[in-house]
Amino acid sequence: MRKQTYTNQPTDDVLEIIEGIVKIKREGRFEEANKKYMELSIEEKDDKHNYPYILKSWAKVLVCLGKYETAIEYFGNAAELFNNSGNKTDEWQCRDQSKKIRKRDEYRDDFIDYVRGVSGGQIEYPLNYNGNNIYDYISLGIQNAKNGNHEKAIANFNKAIEKKPEYAEAYYNVGLSYCYLGNYNQAISYFNKALDIDPDTTEVYHFLSFAYDQMGNQKKAIYCREMIDKINRKIAVETLERFL
């Protein structure tokens, strides 16, 4: 007999599987988590107690993948099943999360925070939120970079650059990925492009200095550190003047 510890939880064996998949999701491995939920749902589809919990948890992964309409459908199906079983708490949670997705354009900031929370902080900007725009590519690039897929991250960031050539953050992110790959010549090139657009960014100078250090160019590395000090002094003076 399958053990069920609490009424508002799936059976222990399914709960253990779901917790394992949630861990995968928190590591940013969303496609893998999606596949595992698909397999689990096939096994448990006829279990009226376990199935809604699987749908509820699965829908959150679909949100991370930018599959919003399917996520709304799964939250809705789970809510109905919870309602049928008298589980009002989980029914309300599913309906509330479905509403957050449906109202995403109306409550933009809340939706972005919601996706960031659901993804365990792995996603900074929701995928497919406004179609394939620069923020989708930046978000996907950051996700790939966190997972160590720097070649894919570079391709994502370059897509953002194609759409908005004057986007300094995209050049900076490409430079970071090239640093991780040990390609410091390319990193330097992209960092300098970022500075051409936004010359007062100390963070770019910090990593540019690191790249020059790795290349053995101490003169330029020192220059970058001097620029950081100069920018910080400039910011301090401007801040002080606003209060005088």
The per-residue pLDDT for 127 is 79
In a domain, 45, yes or no: yes
Average pLDDT, the chain: 91
Residues in CB range of 153: below 8 A, 6 or more apart: 141, 142, 144, 145, 173, 177
Q: Which domain holds residue 104?
A: 1-112
- Judge contact between 59 and 71, C-beta under 8 A: yes
In a domain, 215, yes or no: no
Instruction: Read off the pLDDT of residues 82-103 as tens digits, 9 standing for 90 and up.
Output: 999 999 999 999 999 999 999 9
d(CA 17, CA 50) in angstroms, rounded, equals 11
pLDDT above 70: residue 47: yes
The per-residue pLDDT for 217 is 97
The per-residue pLDDT for 5 is 44
- Judge contact between 9 and 1, C-beta under 8 A: no
The per-residue pLDDT for 7 is 61
Q: Residue range 197-207: average pLDDT? A: 94
pLDDT above 60: residue 6: no
Three-state DSSP string of 109-165: HHHHHHHHHHCCCCCCCCCCCCCCCHHHHHHHHHHHHHCCCHHHHHHHHHHHHHHCC
Q: Residue range 110-129: average pLDDT? A: 87
Taking each helix axis from N to C end, the angle separating 202-215 and 218-243, rounded to the nearest 10 degrees, works out to: 170
d(CA 109, CA 84) in angstroms, rounded, equals 33
What dihedral angle (degrees, nearest 10) is formed by the CA atoms of 219, 220, 224, 229?
Answer: 20
In a domain, 46, yes or no: yes
The per-residue pLDDT for 98 is 96
Check which CATH number belongs to the domain holding 73 and give it: 1.25.40.10
In a domain, 150, yes or no: no
In a domain, 28, yes or no: yes
Q: Residue range 144-156: average pLDDT? A: 91
The per-residue pLDDT for 194 is 97
Number of domains within the chain = 1
The per-residue pLDDT for 132 is 59
Of 234, 237, 232, 210, which Cα lies nearest the Cα of 221?
Answer: 210
The model's pTM is 0.60
The per-residue pLDDT for 134 is 80
> Which is more confident, 135 or 7?
135
Q: Residue range 200-210: average pLDDT? A: 95
pLDDT above 60: residue 1: no
d(CA 238, CA 165) in angstroms, rounded, equals 29
Tokens 């394992």 identify what position? 20
Q: Residue range 19-36: average pLDDT? A: 94
In a domain, 153, yes or no: no
Q: How confident is the model at residue 131 (pLDDT cuts 50, 70, 90)?
A: low
In a domain, 29, yes or no: yes
In a domain, 192, yes or no: no
Distances (CA, A) of 46 to 75, 103, 166, 193, 237: 18, 32, 53, 57, 68
The per-residue pLDDT for 129 is 76
Q: How confident is the model at residue 139 (pLDDT cuts 50, 70, 90)?
A: confident
